[in-house]
Amino acid sequence: MAKEKTDVLHGSLALMVLRTLDTLGPQHGWGIARRIEQISGDALELNQGTLYPALLRLQQMGWITSKWGASDNNRRAKFYAITRTGKKQLAAETENWERISGILARFARQPGESS
């Protein structure tokens, strides 16, 4: 199955969401957004809202599921959880990401040829 072409940010957002859900277990949207901001040390300028279409896309792929439930303060909230195929995808994306970043790192360390 051909993977959809996505820009780097798109792909990395999926990776971040999947990793978050894999580490923390089921989370609502705000929880995921907070976690991503914390891990990135608030260095990532991300409109929190854009998270939601991404979550929908991940659901359509079958990598996460969503369920309405009660939050800590007992309000109705939608919780997202990672699925088995989601975990497989996470492993694949992580490996892919490491390979790409490895390659990019080698390029970054290369001494400049102009000097």
Partner 1 sequence: MTRLRVLLSRLSGLLRMGSLERNLDEEFHFHLQLEIDQNLRKGMTAAEARTAALRRFGGIAQIKETYRETHGLPVIQVLGQDVRFGFRMLRRSPGFSLLVILCLMLGIGANAAVFSWIEGILLRPFPLVAHQGRMMAVAGTNRAVPGHDDVSSPDFADFQKSCTLFDAFIVDRITGTTLSVGDRAQRATASVVSANYFDSLGVRPILGRGFEPAEDHGRNAHPVTVISYQLWMERFKGDPEIVGKSQMLNGMPHTIIGVAPEGFYGTFVGWAMQFWVPASMQELFDPGGYKLEDRGARWIEGFVRLKPGVSPERAQAEISAVAKRLEDAYPATNRGRGIQLYPLWRTPFNNAGTLFPTLGIALVVVVFVLLIVCANVSNLLLVKAFGRRHEITVRLALGAGRGRLLKQLLTEGLILTAFAAAGGLLAANWCRNLFVLLLPARGGVAMKLPGDLDWRVLALSAGICLVSTLLFGLFPAIATSNIDLASSLKAEAGGVVGGRRRGLVRSSLVVVQVALSFVLLVGAGLLFQSLRAVQNTDPGFSTHGVLTSSIDFVAAGYSAQRARNFEDELIDRLQAVAGVSSAAFTRVAPFSYRSYSSAPIAVDGYVTAPDEQPTVDYNEVGPAYFATMGIPIVSGREFRRADNETAPPVAVVNEAMAVQYWRGQDPAGRRLQVKGGWLRVVGVAKMSKYRNLMEAARPFFYVPIRQSVSGSILQIRTPLGPETMAKALVREIHALDPSLAPGEIITMQENVDRTTAVQRVAVAMLGVFGGLALVLAAIGLYGVMSYTVSQSKRELGLRMALGAGASDLLRLVMSHGMALTAGGLVVGAAAALGLTRLLGTLLYKVSPRDPLAFAVALVVMTMAGLAACFLPAWRATRTDPVRALRN
Nearest approach in angstroms of CB 97 to partner 1 is 19
Of the CA atoms within 13 Å of residue 38, those in its CB half-sphere come to 8
Residue 30 touching partner 1 (CB under 8 A): yes
Out of 76, 84, 106, 109, the residue judged to bind partner 1 by CB under 8 A = 76
> What does the angle CA 18 – CA 76 – CA 88 come to, to the nearest 5 degrees?
15
In the complex with partner 1, the residue whose CB is nearer, 75 or 106, is 75
Binding pattern to partner 1, positions 38-57, x when CB under 8 A?
A: ---------xxxx-xx--xx
CA distances from 20 to 1, 4, 24, 98 (A): 26, 22, 6, 17
Binding flag, residue 23, partner 1 (CB under 8 A): no
Please report whether residue 112 would count as binding partner 1 according to CB under 8 A.
Answer: no
Number of helical (H) and strand (E) elements in the chain, helices listed first: 4, 3
Q: Verify binding: residue 78, partner 1, rule CB under 8 A.
A: yes
Nearest CA to 29 among 8, 9, 48?
48
Reference 22, options 89, 108, 81; nearest CA is 81
Smallest distance from the beta carbon of 19 to partner 1, in angstroms? 20
31, amino acid identity: G
| Binding residues vs partner 1 (CB under 8 A) | 1-2, 28-30, 33, 47-50, 52-53, 56-57, 59-62, 71, 75-78
